[in-house]
Chain A
Amino acid sequence: MPEAILDVQDLSYSFRTYGGEVQAVRGVSFEVMPGEVVGIVGESGCGKSVTAQCALRLNPEPPGFRRGGRMLYKGEDVFAKGERELRRMRGAEIGFVFQDPMTYLNPTMRVGAQVEEVFAGRPGVSRREARSRADEMLALVGISDVARRREQYPHELSGGMKQRVMIAMALVGRPSLIIADEPTTSLDVTIEAQILELLDDLRRKLGTAIVLITHDLGVIAKMCDRVYVMYGGKVVESGGAEDIFYRTAHPYTAGLLGSVARLETDCDEELKAIEGTPPDLFSPPPGCPFAARCDYAMRVCRESPSPEYRLEGGHRVSCWLRHEYAEPVELPARCAPEAAV
């Protein structure tokens, strides 16, 4: 079995604030294999972005700090690396695509120069080479008329164009891993589809692994090989995309799937909203983070965290309902359509 590119083991990460310690990530484990697309899905505040940003130590430290666990990139712990080594990794080893391109692009620099800047201060790449690689990458992400576009400033480009430039910046150093944090959330559906197809296409061409962080189950369904569902700073369920959608094992995942309106949802049928709000991470509940909103919660759920149960084919779930003494329940599952496999 090949070695994982990114191997996260029981990572806990917190922020010190005036109000106390925010335990944003509480014991998260996952891995990313070369060339695969891994989705991390969850709502705001579930810790998905904080976890991903740890890979390049992008969280501000302080107030952020690692409480426990490890995050290995190609076998080395990123928390053991110095600032210099991290700088070298950013862009060259791991590329990052952010949600809002307008805040992450420099408004005072021409876009071509921003893509080239990834090479600034790196040994072995001349200015001319940096320039030609930047142009090549801009063309690859579907920007037409590169010679003109590279001289433009971010405000002259549309939202979709800016996101393409961000992707070009993430890719130009030929990283082995791309972390895309809500890459299409600020875009319209037709542009979103274009960007997702672009990412998928680039993965096929370049063999780059992708971690896709999103709250949108539609994006997950379209793109991901494997999925981790996060809630309240923990991974509650993980598995292949089909496991998550068609053999849903955690009540939170089931709730999330039930609460999105889909095209075939009957208009007379009520959406299954999850009542209540996510847990307060200043003082997270001792048991399952979802217990307070869960229809099936038992006493044990509120008191102690569930162990991780292994189901078939790499599908895992942290839920007490899987315990042999628990009464079996039928989660509202979705049927897999027969056609189009």
Chain B
Amino acid sequence: MSVAEREPLLSVSGLSKHFRMSRTEVLKAVDDVSFDVREGETVGLVGESGCGKSTTGRCIVRLHEPTAGAVRFAGEDVYAPAGSRSADRERKRRLCKGMQMVFQNPYSSLNPRMTVKDIVGEGFALVGRLGQKERDERIVELLRTVGLGAEHMSRFPHEFSGGQRQRIGIARALSVDPRFIVCDEPISALDVSIQAQVINMLKRLQAERGLTYLFVAHDLSVVKYISDRVIVMYLGTVVEQAGASELYRSPLHPYTRALFSAIPEADPRVARGRARIPLKGEIPSPVNPRDECRFADRCPIAEPVCRSRRPPLRDMGGGHRVACHLA
């Protein structure tokens, strides 16, 4: 095996994205986040709203310019100075072919004035010039892959249901034949019975095409179902990461434990029999956070050491990492 193959497909190191709110206030949406994604696996990124999971996903595909840190995709640095503008444009083109994104809201992520054919076919400009006929054939093939058909080509997004629109978004992402897709809450806007259709399709596409996913979501049961590894974020930082079944079996971080104990399980005896670990208050503001464990204020087991400095992400063996002084 060559060195290039052993390197992870995506490697995020020390990624930070800060938004300046005023002269004295800095919102640290993502603060020093590092992780790897290996070829062919699905990594779940979970956390509650405002934890920075979507911002992380957007930084990876260059929808946000990060404040600090590096993102390497397929051996190439996504953000290193490119030398010239044309070199940067060229790199962007390569990256777009390699990584794509599926957005949360299928109502706002498709241009209402474009037909399905134009939406799905827009990415072909990256692949190279195609003849009209070949272009149409490939669009029909893509639509079939996601469970739509040729008859949908000339329709507009408003003629579709939420689930169908999400399929169009997925077809658009697949059009350039990427290796890696960031799925940002792809099912949270959909109905339960439709969610399962989309999840099954994502899994099938992964098996057929050897895709790699970063699956950003807040639904913990779905994330466990689809992911090989899971990363839990809280207030801009990674608090824990591990293999999916390992993490759900033995969560180490008190936040992860509280989060899992709050999952609404669709089973009356389980849901009523379980004791929830109560958390004090709500997620604090990410503006000007102090240099301490971000979870300390709400943590049921916090000790003075938690407020003295930020806990590093420590490996507890077998790739199970946790950022807690007390774990």
Contacts and interface: CB of A to CB of B under 8 A. Distances in A.
A192 B265 CA distance: 13
Contacts, number: 144
A277 B225 contact: no
Contacts of B48: 188-191
Interface string A223-256: 0000000000000000001100110000000011
B273 A339 contact: yes
Interface string B117-138: 0000000000000000000000
B249 to A, nearest CB: 10
Interface stretch (B7-15, B71-79, B90-98, B191-199): B191-199
Contacts of A159: 49
B270 A337 contact: yes
A215 B192 contact: yes
A272 B196 contact: yes
A339 B245 CA distance: 22
Contact of A190 (B191, B259, B271, B274): B259
A100 interface: no
Interface in A144-173: 158-161
Contacts of B265: 218, 221-222, 262-263
A93 B224 CA distance: 43
Given A263-B224, A273-B193, A188 B218 contact: yes
B266 A217 contact: yes
Secondary structure type dominating chain B contacts: helix
A189 B191 contact: no
B165 to A, nearest CB: 12
Contacts of A160: 282
A216 interface: yes
Contacts of A106: none
A206 interface: no
B326 interface: no
B221 to A, nearest CB: 5
A219 interface: yes
Nearest to A267: B225
Given A222-B264, A263-B248, A271 B199 contact: yes
Given A43-B192, A259-B193, A190 B258 contact: yes
A193 B196 contact: no
A270 B226 CA distance: 10
Interface in B276-301: 276, 278-279, 282-283
Contacts of A218: 263-266, 271
A220 B266 CA distance: 7
A220 B268 CA distance: 8
Given A189-B264, A191-B282, A245-B267, 16 more contacts: A43-B193, A189-B259, A189-B262, A190-B48, A218-B264, A222-B271, A256-B192, A260-B192, A262-B265, A267-B244, A271-B196, A271-B199, A271-B200, A272-B196, A273-B194, A339-B273
10 contacts: A160-B282, A190-B259, A215-B192, A216-B264, A222-B264, A222-B268, A259-B196, A263-B265, A337-B269, A341-B273
Interface of A: 43-44, 158-161, 188-194, 196-197, 215-222, 241-242, 245-246, 255-263, 265, 267, 270-275, 277, 334, 336-337, 339-341
